Amino acid sequence: MREYQDYDALGLAQLIQTGETTPSALLEAAIARCEAVNPALNAVIVPLYEQARSLARQPPSQAPFAGVPFLLKDLLAALQGAPLANGCRALKGWVPDYDSELVRRFKAAGVVIFGKTNTPEFGLLGYTEPEAWGPTRNPWSLAHSPGGSSGGAAAAVAAGIVPMAHGGDGGGSIRIPASNCGLFGLKPSRGRIPLGPDFGEVWAGAVQEGVVSRSVRDTAAMLDCIAGPEQGAPYVIAGPATTFAHAASQPPPRLRIGAVLSTPDTPMHADCRTAVETTMSLLHELGHDVKEVTLPYDHAQLLDCYLTMYYGETATDLRWLARHLGRPLRRGDVELETWILGRMGEQLRAADFSAAKRDWNLLARTMGRFHQQYDLLLTPTLAAPPTRIGELKTPPMQRAALSAIATLGGIGLLRKAIHEQACINFARMPYTQLANLTGQPAMSVPLHWNAAGLPIGVQFVAATNREDCLLSLACQLEAARPWAHRRPVLA
């Protein structure tokens, strides 16, 4: 057998089916790789080796990913008998006695789950540096962040621990780390992936679950395994005409693509602009019709909508945490920023949230009109290259001031300070939240590396229910500009 890292997930499954290797052998290779690189990365925070070894000894099924090592993100995904902390110190030690519906579907796909990956507290941030577990580092440069909130998952895949891992996306949390780690990341359409039994929707419908992977075909095949509504789902959308895997294998028609090279409120780093420009050239070579367009929506309005939801949902998370713990929350139960975001959410009125949700729907209508003229919207995934560890964290002096304000009151000052910090952070990642609010599918494709050797992803956004269009184009781009041979520093 060639090197474990040379294969994508479907390739490893094929080796098992042909008898060239066994699930146990692959699991031991994955564990060995994890033990070798994870001390430097801090990507896997909950090892589940013995449970996985027991599972790997069972005869493999005929499932598409039977026997393939796999990692769960430590957020939302309940795995019976395994801790689920959601990045929060107060939840350390909670062990669900059930599987979530998504985990049941992952298991039915045949994967062998052998660990859980790091995530920011409650998945709130675009970088993965929770106080409960410490920062996850980017395999391409240990001084840099893999992004978030699926930062642990992306770092593990990029470092060759697994070829594919679970992630979730409420504001770019699959696409941001995919971009930072040189991976493929798809956020499915709203309603595509189940969130039960604990949730009908998460973040008012902004969150969708999925995977980060090294190959497009792995994402497409896993989407076939996990997609589809469950009983009581609040959103039900049509499935693909055939399968997502089949769609990925078909060349796309000539596509009309609108490309964004500037935004009115956010400066675009030269590396990110270059990534879009080189992608535009490649798309022209492949026969697509690509034109530069202005951002087809009001970015300031989008940010206001998103922050209203963000504050309100954090307050709801903290209410849930108090009920779960069976006592009032103490300040030390959660991180300062989480506590303050919750305070912000508690100040919102029902009318504020309702008005923001109406604006979400207007954004969706705006994008619906855009897609009457263009099949896809092309942007950088991020407005800047990967940030350094700690770069986006609140500075110590500001943290002290925020803590004092939160303790003494002064909600007006608190709102102003938090909004300013949020705008600074969102200026680095302004393009991903759109698809979460509108419910559209979107993907980050690793087509560019900058002079420092850091990955720079580009994002494509499609009309709702058009994952097939994204996957077909992604496979064409993957064939034209392969990325799987690129290996980070730790490889």
- Which positions are catalytic? 73, 149, 173
CA distance 306 to 383: 18
CA distance 159 to 153: 10
Q: Are 196 and 232 contacting, i.e. CB atoms less than 8 angstroms apart?
A: yes
Question: In this structure, which amino acid lies at residue 398?
Answer: Q
Q: Is 241 exposed, middle or buried (0-12, 13-18, 19+ CB in 10 A)?
A: exposed
CA distance 163 to 9: 5
CA max distance for the chain: 66
Q: Are 429 and 126 contacting, i.e. CB atoms less than 8 angstroms apart?
A: yes
CA distance 230 to 450: 43
Number of C-alpha atoms within 13 angstroms, CB side, residue 479? 13
Find, among 405, 391, 315, 411, the residue nearest to 122 by Cα.
315
Q: Are 444 and 184 contacting, i.e. CB atoms less than 8 angstroms apart?
A: yes
Q: Where are the alpha helices (DSSP H) in 251-349?
A: 270-285, 299-325, 336-347
Q: Are 48 and 11 contacting, i.e. CB atoms less than 8 angstroms apart?
A: no
208-213/289-292 β-pairing: unpaired
* 3-class DSSP assignment, residue 389: coil
